Structure 1
Amino acid sequence: MTHDAQTHQIYQRAGFGQAVPRGQNPAVLVVDFSCGFTDPACSLGSDLTAEVEATRRLLDAARAKGFLAVFTTIGFEPGLTDGALWIKKAPSLAELQLGGRWVEIDPRLARRESEPVILKKGASAFFGTNLASILIAQGVDTVILCGATTSGCIRATAIDLLQYGFPTLVPRECVGDRAPGPHEANLFDINQKYADVVSVDEAIAYIESLPARTAAMAH
């Protein structure tokens, strides 16, 4: 038996990997597809062109139906004291300074003014933010999670989405990491324990199967 087959057997025996329910009012949550992560010129970045383009397809499908899109970005004050211990553990995060290009959402995603950007200073999109309040106020019952990095902020956010009670889909083509090993390992773990890892085509088909959300419903 191969190592991968043995792992699958162990997880199957434990009863992991069941599907999450899917609601009628999904939101797309795009975590840290800021220029600092999607431009290799930044030491934190890598070439995530394919992932950004897949996420744009998903966003456009959600926008056409009137569903919420929320973005997050990491940014610190010049003094970096708001980075706390994270800056000491990962000093390259100091490049993500407020007001600089690396904090800006990748323009290829064509963020709209009505789509909130949440500033975060930790791995999870929920830590120290009002993300839960936004999702609850908009009646969101399912989250489609995109962004970077799979092994860091995506995993942390997927765990918290589960813990806050939001069924979550993670389109495989819409999340990325710096290296394939951590990316694949964390997608496997997320799918087994926290969310459903699906194809972007499946996520778009799910969105398109739902009735459009009207402006009156959204407020």
Structure 2
Amino acid sequence: MKIPQHKTALLVVDMQHDFTKPGGKAYYEMTEQMLKTYPEKINKMREKGVLIVPIYTIHDHDKPVNPELTRMAKATLSPETGGELMDERIPIDPVHDIIWRKYAASAFFKTNLDEVLREHGVQNVLVCGVKTNVCCRATATDAASHGFYAFMVSDMIATNTPELSQFHLDEMTKYFAKALDSDEVFRRLDAGTF
């Protein structure tokens, strides 16, 4: 079977209940605002030939965590809590999308995601989801480290506050992953540069 080719992939990071639902362990109002247009933007990118990669995390119960951290990894995305479930507002095509589990902040860490993306012809990696300053930043940094052109979609990414998100987008644009909004993504897709 021939593997479908895509020049660009959208990595949708950790859009799970602990982050997206009011009352979730790491829910922020910024995420709710972002979700209002999320499905439409993901579907439009899919229609324009972008490979959609919904990425989820489930923390293992026995994973050692430094007890000196102020926010322990076990606090979110634990199995069988409901917080680990993908948000139903995220449009997933189980036939064409690549649904990916990650085990650390970066979706590339100890996985073969880079190989899978290359098999699909991916050159450009767009990162969106939560949190801008944690898993999205780690994933975008590693995408660049693996030789992809990395981008962070500024209106499809969120964290505690818009100001914190913008700080990290500005920093990433300097070094690893240019921040751009979805309108610019669509312009580049239409122009054939993505």
TM range (shorter): 0.7 to 0.9
Residue 123 of structure 1 and its aligned partner are, at CA, apart by 0.8
Task: Identify the residue that residue 79 of structure 2 maps to in structure 1.
Answer: 98
Q: How many residues are treated as equivalent by the alignment?
A: 185
Return the letter of the residue paired with 1:30: V
Residue 38 of structure 1 and its aligned partner are, at CA, apart by 1.1
Task: Identify the residue that residue 93 of structure 2 maps to in structure 1.
Answer: 112
Q: Which has the larger helix fraction? A: 1
1:79-105 per-position Cα deviation (integer Å, ceiling 9, x unaligned): x113x2268633363342224422122
Task: Identify the residue that residue 6 of structure 1 maps to in structure 2.
Answer: none
Give the number of the structure whose alpha-carbon radius of gyration is greater: 1
Return the letter of the residue paired with 1:96: L
Task: Identify the residue that residue 27 of structure 2 maps to in structure 1.
Answer: 45
SS of equivalent residue, structure 1 residue 81: coil
1:144-191 per-position Cα deviation (integer Å, ceiling 9, x unaligned): 110111111111111111110110222211110012342121111011
Return the letter of the residue paired with 2:11: L
Runs of 5+ consecutive residues of structure 2 not aligned to the other structure: 1-5
Residue 67 of structure 1 and its aligned partner are, at CA, apart by 2.5
Return the letter of the residue paired with 2:52: A
Segments of 4+ in structure 1 off by > 6 A? none
Out of 124, 127, 133, the residue aligned to residue 109 of structure 2 is 127
**Pairing 1:116-195 to 2, within 5 Å after superposition:** 116-195=98-177
Taking the aligned partners of 1:99 and 1:196, their CA distance within structure 2 comes to: 36
Task: Identify the residue that residue 48 of structure 2 maps to in structure 1.
Answer: 65
1:85 aligns with 2:68: no
SS of equivalent residue, structure 1 residue 170: strand
Say whether the 8 Å CA contact 2:43–2:91 is kept in structure 1.
Answer: no
Identity, in percent, stands at 25
The farther-off stretch of 186-195 and 87-96 is 87-96
Return the letter of the residue paired with 2:41: L
TM-score, normalised to structure 1, is 0.76
Residue 49 of structure 1 and its aligned partner are, at CA, apart by 2.3
Taking the aligned partners of 1:172 and 1:26, their CA distance within structure 2 comes to: 17
CA gap of 1:92–1:122, structure 2 versus 1, over 3 A, is closer
1:208 aligns with 2:190: yes
Say whether the 8 Å CA contact 2:18–2:83 is kept in structure 1.
Answer: yes
Taking the aligned partners of 1:154 and 1:123, their CA distance within structure 2 comes to: 8
Return the letter of the residue paired with 1:85: V
Residue 37 of structure 1 and its aligned partner are, at CA, apart by 0.9
